[in-house]
Chain A
Amino acid sequence: MTEFKTFPNEESLCEYFSSLGGWTDPEKVVPLKGASAHEVAVGPVHAGVIEPGHFRFQCMGENVYNLQIFLGYQHRGVEDEIVRADGMIARQIALAETCAGDTSAAAAAAFSEIMERAFPARFPEPAPKELALRSLLIELERVANHVGDLGALAGDVAFLQTQAFCGRIRGEYLNMTAHLAGNRFGRGAIVPGGLRVTLSEEKAQELKNWIKRIKPELDRALKLMFDNHTVCDRFDGTGTVSKETARAIGLVGVSRRASEDFNGDVMARALVRRIEIEEAHAKIAALLAGEHPCRGEARHEEKSGEFFAVTSTVPAWRGPLVHAAAFTRDGKMIKYKIIDPSSHNWHGLAWALRGEQISNFPICNKSFNLSYCGVDR
């Protein structure tokens, strides 16, 4: 989905860009005082193989009173680099793809949609078949990530079977992506105006068979976990974000859905992922059966104001991924902004920890599994 806007001057353009929002780090540590107050600082280098961030658990006795989250360790200026690379499409798209590596396909689609809407003569609307392949890559990305996270959740409550099964099955979905794109994260496949890869009949059939083989294994692995009462006991009621809070702090995607459709705890976020895995498989089946997503008519806008901006929103696995670019009337890129769904949802994690014990942090964190680098501020 894209949106086209024109602006008479730079001021109105900047106003629009700041209205798009995004993550803001807390300015400083707000100390917690009192007889039983203490703080636990974690990071930026964590014990696991994960991205850097600094977490400050401010506790009253055993319980977390507040969690302050400091990001920005991953900051490398992706947005500015994309602007600087204006005119070098391959470089721009590689930069967009590496903003958050687990959301590469969605990011490439978001960037491409912007360029297609901004310069329809240079980047014509992709054929329906190509749009279908783009969706396919995005859905495979969704399944791989959800499967990986559900497995990691199982690992965090020491339910090792599902952890091990899901770890392997996630790899199968990454390999499916590699089978289509040559890269396990789908890098380099989606480009403005189309794709660099095609989906042959043969490959489509291979993929169908592959999924037919793996999906029952995945179902078994997940059923095992969700049927286990000790796992359910750990997930139920842990890290709850109420519907009201979710709305007030503006959660999006999986986390929002967990608070809207369920009660917003770890179990809710796990269930939403399980549901989304099903939905993604239904979509993949439809796409492989020849269904084409429809984007509507290509519009050739009047570039009237001094500046114009295009915003694209792609249904990435964590939630809506928003990219926005501003151009001068003659097509020079002057601003680029990436709003990963994580930008909104980090506040949700902080909220989920309130009143919990620190030991519940891993499963709360994993149930959100937000991107650090995607929030490149």
Chain B
Amino acid sequence: MIKALLARLKEGCRTGAFPPAAPSLPPEFRGRPVIDADTTEEDVRKMKAVCPVEHALAFSNGIASIDMGRCIFCGRCAEASPKIRFTKEYRLGVFRREDLIVKAGEKDYTPPRQTDREARALKGSLHLREVSAGGCAACELDANVLGTPAWDMARFGIRFAASPRHADAIYLTGPVSANMQTALDKTYAAMPEPKFLIAAGACAISGGLYTQGNLPAEPALFIPGCPPHPATTLEALLRFTS
């Protein structure tokens, strides 16, 4: 007992300064991409040739674009063409699907602000029910990380609830495999109103590398990544309610 208490004292406080301080990201971190305005169809073809995901990159009406909702942030396209680069911008969460598309020439980025009053009312008390539906489990692992002392999302009142009855939102990961469709629909139905769906990871947003099943509702928050970095997730959840 004494030993355990001493060890606890010695450990001290390990919670990171993020937020409000900037998170410490690895040097190779790949965040929000930027595409040069003069990117040609040929450039996009080169990028697409090495991209593991279908339809992550596009060229239409003379403009190149990348869909962060499909991209797994592997960085291969940036190796194939200098026209695309991945910045260190980790604040990737958005409230509308179309905001995940980054078009060529777009420069200044400010993360969107929450305007939904019902979502803002959850500030300081957001209870999530995780539903893992056919992904690779890395999204779940990095969601779990937010509960560790290093991130400690509970200090903002964000918690994972054991039952959908106690939840404000479903934190969905995975592409919704056929065998999880019923379970997901039932879990969503079991949540009291007002309720939200949060799609975390390329799989949940678009199917990612896989084919997507049916979402029970239009997600109110999209957190891109494969898996999203914990800093991205925490920042998105906080912005969702503020």
Residues of A within 8 A of B (CB): 44-45, 47-52, 72-76, 81, 88, 90-91, 93-95, 97-102, 104, 148, 161, 164-165, 167-168, 170-171, 174-175, 178-185, 187-188, 196-197, 220-221, 224, 227-228, 371-373
User: Which of A90, A101, A174 is close to B52, meaning CB atoms less than 8 Å apart?
Assistant: A90
B22 to chain A, nearest CB (A): 15
B14 to chain A, nearest CB (A): 5
Can you list, as one digit per residue, whether each of B217-241 has a CB less than 8 Å from chain A (1) or not (0)? 0000000001101000000000000
Q: In the complex the two chains form, is A73's CB within 8 Å of B137's CB?
A: no
- Give Cα A262 to B126, complex, Å: 45
Q: Does B180 contact A (CB under 8 A)?
A: yes
Q: Which of B89-97, B107-115, B138-146 contacts A (4 or more CB under 8 A)?
A: B138-146
For A220, the chain B residues whose CB sits under 8 A away are 7
- Give Cα A95 to B29, complex, Å: 21
Given contacts A45-B183, A90-B76, A95-B209, contact A171 B148 (CB under 8 A): yes
Q: In the complex the two chains form, is B132's CB within 8 Å of A52's CB?
A: yes
Given contacts A50-B132, A75-B178, contact A102 B149 (CB under 8 A): no
User: Which of A174, A181, A221 is close to B28, meaning CB atoms less than 8 Å apart?
Assistant: A181
Q: In the complex the two chains form, is B11's CB within 8 Å of A178's CB?
A: no
Q: In the complex the two chains form, is B160's CB within 8 Å of A49's CB?
A: yes
For B76, the chain A residues whose CB sits under 8 A away are 90, 188
> What total count of A-B pairs have CB within 8 Å?
159
User: Which of A167, A196, A373 is close to B135, meaning CB atoms less than 8 Å apart?
Assistant: A373
Given contacts A94-B52, A95-B209, A179-B28, contact A51 B132 (CB under 8 A): yes
Residues of B within 8 A of A (CB): 3-4, 7-8, 11, 14, 26-30, 50-53, 72-76, 79, 130-145, 147-150, 160, 162-163, 174-175, 177-180, 183, 187, 208-211, 226-227, 229
A313 to chain B, nearest CB (A): 21
For B138, the chain A residues whose CB sits under 8 A away are 98, 101-102, 104, 185
Given contacts A74-B177, A179-B27, contact A161 B130 (CB under 8 A): no
Most buried by B among A148, A167, A180: A167
Most buried by B among A81, A100, A164: A164
Q: In the complex the two chains form, is A371's CB within 8 Å of B137's CB?
A: yes
Q: In the complex the two chains form, is A197's CB within 8 Å of B148's CB?
A: no
For A168, the chain B residues whose CB sits under 8 A away are 14, 148-150
- Give Cα A175 to B229, complex, Å: 11
Given contacts A164-B148, A179-B26, A187-B72, contact A102 B177 (CB under 8 A): no
A216 to chain B, nearest CB (A): 11
- Give Cα A372 to B134, complex, Å: 9
Question: Can you name 6 extra interface pairs (CB under 8 A) apart from A90-B76, A196-B79, A373-B136?
Answer: A52-B131, A72-B179, A73-B133, A101-B138, A175-B26, A224-B4
- Give Cα A269 to B193, complex, Å: 44
For A221, the chain B residues whose CB sits under 8 A away are 7
B12 to chain A, nearest CB (A): 11
User: Which of A81, A148, A181 is close to B210, meaning CB atoms less than 8 Å apart?
Assistant: A81
Most buried by B among A90, A91, A100: A90
Given contacts A49-B144, A178-B29, contact A94 B74 (CB under 8 A): yes
Q: Which 8 residue pairs of A and B lie closest in terms of their CB atoms, listed nearest first?
A: A101-B138, A182-B28, A167-B148, A101-B136, A47-B162, A94-B52, A178-B26, A98-B136
Most buried by B among A75, A94, A174, A227: A94
User: Which of A94, A101, A197 is close to B141, meaning CB atoms less than 8 Å apart?
Assistant: A101
User: Which residue on A lies nearest to B11, using beta carbons?
Assistant: A165
Q: In the complex the two chains form, is A101's CB within 8 Å of B227's CB?
A: yes
B3 to chain A, nearest CB (A): 7
A-B contact pairs, 21 of them (CB 8 A): A45-B183, A48-B162, A49-B143, A72-B179, A73-B177, A74-B180, A75-B134, A76-B134, A76-B175, A88-B52, A91-B53, A101-B141, A164-B148, A168-B14, A174-B145, A178-B29, A179-B27, A182-B75, A187-B226, A224-B4, A224-B7
